[in-house]
Amino acid sequence: MVRRAESAATMKSDVPMPSTWYAVTMSPVGINVPRADGSSKVRGDAQYVDDIRPAGCLYGATARSPRAHARILEIRKDPNYNWNGITLITSDSIPAQNVVYLMTEDQPALAESIVRHVEEPVALVAAESRDRVLEAVQHVEVITEDLPAIIDPRESVDNEIKIYGEDNIFKKISIDKGGQAEGGIVVEGEYTVGHQEQLYIEPQGMIAIPREDGGLTFVGSMQCPFYIEKALAPMLGHKRMNVIQAATGGGFGGKEEYPSMLAAHAALLAIATGKPIKMIYRRDEDLRATTKRHPSIIKIRSVVDEQGCLQQWDADILMDGGAYNTLTPVVLSRAILHLTGPYRCPHQHLTGRA
């Protein structure tokens, strides 16, 4: 759709836009297009999720697994704690499927009988204040019995313990081009990268507000609002939801898929209490519990001719996908597709496994 030139005068903006952008090219190339939230952030009046408090809002918190792989024996409330005014729910409160749907339906909103990673959500608590809910969740004990855990991805593909499918592999991608270079200089090595925390300035946060039609409105810090509708529809059993992205204090990939998990938890508490629920992670919880950039073990063998031009590139990437698939196939595809950069290379043999 091309805007008419006269419509520019009717548009409200803190920064005037050149009429030629609307009437002629519709292209931002060569034009300083202002950020939609730039002015409010500079003025200091941008509304981040923790600045928003709907009427009657309660606060939510998450009780988590202390173990990497274990059977849940009991979720125990401290009998000596005052539970008056506190709501506690488990997977029994999930209205439809116990799943947060990303690329596959393998990750539960709340673990039922088995936990598959440290800090996996097991139960949810709501209270009238943040201090009260953070205190209450410390009085929820998750009692478990350990099961075998695979920590090293190198062990995962060869281990007799099969936790995910027949081979513990979420995704495999290969690119084969050309054959074998003759002669040349060989440079090869093995490189490892660890977990990388995106460390956005604003921690994860989400609000779920019940609607009269039985649906929910979500307001949160996120990068991909449309993910939330897809992720929560199987769990809720409907799509009566609308999603509003609040001013977001950084994401860097860390707020692509994880806000769907937080939205699921806020939604379950909002349904259980009939009240708006706000969940804001403290920095320590955000560091411990949210998804990270994938650790990887990367083997690269390059063959170059006497002029230093690439003739062959062999590579193997072994990526630690963690307990659930999440967006791992996307990350693996980026790694393989971008591995050779912009360089021309006639012989390529690239394999990636997660």
Which tops the pLDDT comparison, 53 or 5?
A: 53
For position 162, what pLDDT does the model report? Answer: 74
Each residue's pLDDT tens digit, 54-67: 999 999 999 999 99
Q: What is the mean pLDDT of residues 18-32?
A: 62
The first and second tokens of residue 133, run together, are: 């809910």
CB-based contacts of 203: which residues, under 8 Å, 6+ apart? 280, 281, 282, 283, 285, 286
Closest residue by Cα to residue 118 from 287, 256, 232, 251: 287
Q: Which of 146-155, 238-247, 304-313 shows the lowest per-residue confidence on average (mean pLDDT)?
A: 146-155
Please report, as a single letter, which amino acid is at residue 213.
D
Q: Which residue has the tokens 């029994």?
A: 92
44-54: per-residue pLDDT in tens? 999 999 999 99
- CA gap 3, 1 in Å, rounded: 6
pLDDT recorded at residue 3? 35
For the stretch 104-151, pLDDT in tens is 999 999 999 999 999 999 999 999 999 999 999 999 999 999 999 888
**153-174 residue pLDDT tens:** 988 887 777 777 678 899 999 9
What DSSP element (H or E) covers 286?
helix 283-289
Asked whether residue 227 carries a pLDDT value surpassing 60, the answer given is yes
CA distance 36 to 47: 13
Please tell me the predicted confidence (pLDDT) of residue 339.
92
Per-residue pLDDT reduced to its tens digit, 284-302: 999 999 999 999 999 999 9
CB 321 within 8 A of CB 172: no
Using the 8-state DSSP alphabet, how is residue 63 labeled?
A: E
CA–CA dist 101, 87 (Å, integer): 26
- In terms of Cα–Cα distance, which of 198, 194, 226 is closest to 286? 198
159-168, 185-194, 199-208, 335-344: least confidently modelled range: 159-168
Asked if 61 and 131 count as a contact pair (C-beta separation under 8 A), the reply is no
> Do the beta carbons of residue 310 and residue 92 sit within 8 Å?
no
| Strand residues in 79-238 grouped as ranges (E) | 87-89, 114-115, 121-127, 140-146, 172-177, 185-193, 205-210, 216-220
Please enumerate in sequence order all residues whose Cβ is within 8 A of that of 75, keeping only pairs 6 or more positions apart, or say none. Answer: 63, 90, 122, 123, 140, 141, 142, 143
Q: Which among 123, 102, 50, 48 has a CA at the least distance from the CA of 228?
A: 102
- Please report the pLDDT score of residue 11 as a whole number: 36
Helices 225-236, 258-273: inter-axial angle, 10-degree rounding: 50
* pLDDT at residue 248 is higher than 70: yes
Predicted pLDDT at 25: 59
Q: Is the pLDDT of residue 208 over 90?
A: yes
- Phi, psi values for residue 209, rounded to 5°: -120, 120
Radius of gyration of the chain (CA): 25
Residue 7 has pLDDT above 90, yes or no: no
Segment 69-97 shows an average pLDDT of 98
